[in-house]
Amino acid sequence: MEKLTVAVIMGGSSFERRFSLASGKHVVEALEEAGHTVIPLDADENLVDTLRAERPDVAFIAMHGAGGEDGAVPSLLTFLDIPFVGSLPPVCRNTWNKAELPFVMARAYAPEDSVVRWPAQIALPAGAFRNLGAAKALDLMPERVGGFPLAVKPGCGGSAMGLAKVEEADQLGVALMGALAYDDTALVQEWVEGAELSVTVIGDPGDETVLPPVEIVVDGIYDTDARLNPQEVHYFCPVRPQSLSPDPSEADVARSTCERAAIEVYRAFGCRDMARIDMVWDGAAPRVLDLKVFPGLTETSLVPVALAAAQISLPELLDSMVQQAYQRGC
């Protein structure tokens, strides 16, 4: 195997900078353990100059939020003709806006051909409130998405920043303002009860590997505060069968269905290398909530939990990914 010079791009200026730096540090350590020469780079105004001067063999994008997941850095690397690990820019742009995910899936699959289901949702941009008086129609929101409780979140972004569970009408306005503090679109969804799962898929469409589903158990909601406090959240990987069904055979079918849902989403968007699909098993179907093309890779992130259950080391996985990216080019 080639010993490569790998630029690990992290940080940036998004709300998720601290998560990105933590992922980047973990990636640097793993790639060095695999024997590669690593150049840690912050995604700032010097990034292009440094990339042109260093001319790495391949880049690994360890960015979360704007700059990475919206396709900016992948587009830049494509322009500079530097091979990179991760999905192509058009894929990033399609996955960045959570409100668009059901529509991409609808173009890829007829309903009878897919196991994926989505929460009912309404997306409203800030301009609808600021310029068009949308706040005067908030009383209509519950009936449009199936009643209370509701999930309110930013249309773009990750790490559950700006997420709120709304139990009654007088909480809705504050929740919308909180979501719009992180993005210019607020997404209001039906709140789905069930087993909260995260399923990681690695590889290329048609040649994927699905890692064991991670079950997330938390007191309250799985927001940013919960993710930063190990005392508040527990992970089980693989998902406990009893969380899916009291009947063991039905639980096996449910797990297989969730894994199939993750593959369907991965293929529909044309992801490559790695992505994480977040969903809730509601007792009858997987309700997909989000798709992350650059998922977290810190010691407490969900992907390393799944890798450990699959007995795959992070250095082993990242080594295979940078080798593949180097061989295929941009």
Q: What is the pLDDT of residues 114-173, one digit of tens each?
A: 999 999 999 999 999 999 999 999 999 998 998 999 999 999 877 678 899 999 999 999
The share of the chain scoring above pLDDT 90, in percent, equals 81
Region of 283 on the Ramachandran plot (φ > 0 left; ψ -120 to 50 alpha; else beta): left
pLDDT of residue 181 exceeding 70, the answer is yes
Alpha helices (runs of H) in the chain, residue ranges in sequence order: 17-33, 47-54, 72-80, 89-96, 101-108, 126-130, 141-145, 172-180, 224-228, 241-244, 248-269, 302-309, 314-328
The pLDDT assigned to 190 comes to: 95
In angstroms, the first-to-last Cα distance of the chain is 19
Read off the pLDDT of each residue in 194-220 and give the average, rounded to a whole number.
Answer: 94
Q: pTM higher than 0.75 for the full model?
A: yes
The pLDDT assigned to 248 comes to: 96
* Interval 220-241: pLDDT, tens: 777 666 666 667 789 999 999 9
| CA-based nearest residue to 206, from 296, 131, 268 | 268
| CA-based nearest residue to 189, from 264, 75, 289, 78 | 289
